[in-house]
Amino acid sequence: MFAARESGARYLLNVKRWYWVMDAGIVISFALVGSDVHTTSSQVSNIARITLPFLVALAIATVILAQWRSPLSLSVGLLTGLTTLAVGMALRNLVWSDGTPLVFVVVSGVWFIGLMSGWRLARIGVLRVRNRHS
């Protein structure tokens, strides 16, 4: 049983291969939570309309920042969140013709920057604690 727990912990700590899933999940969760909080339609088409500009922005951020080199660094998380926010808002306006009210920009900025850097920061903390106890 201990071996299974150890391999599970090792798997969770080795998210380097899965960083893009974590970041994409943050973008998708933003649309899901937002549509639920605002009691708007939670149909797939509505979620896709909210999510798509930010997923495209996340892909652009991944390439611009060459995230695969150091996907778990805190600075990469901060810059990914910031780039996803800025490019996503631009795409919402220019391509999707959706508005970007100030409150939407602030909330999405807190969500993207906070969570994209937050999960990386949490991982760094877990590794530090784990290394102290090793």
29-54 pLDDT, tens digit per residue, is 999 998 766 655 557 888 888 899 99
**pLDDT score of 3:** 47
Contacts of 32 (CB under 8 A, 6+ apart): 42, 47
- Token pair 């999960």 is at which residue? 119
* Token output for 10: 């090792």
Across 100-117, average pLDDT: 96
Pair 67, 80: CB distance under 8 Å: yes
Q: Which domain holds residue 31?
A: 2-132
Token pair, residue 44, equals 């797939």
pLDDT at 91: 97
Determine if the pTM surpasses 0.85: no
Query: How many domains, in total, are found in the chain?
Result: 1
In the predicted model, what is the mean pLDDT of the chain?
86
Percentage of residues of the chain with pLDDT beyond 70: 83
Give 82's pLDDT tier (boundaries 50, 70, 90).
Answer: very high
Q: What is the pLDDT of residue 11?
A: 54
Which tops the pLDDT comparison, 13 or 55? 55
Which pairs from 41-49 meet CB under 8 Å and 24+ separation?
49/96, 49/98
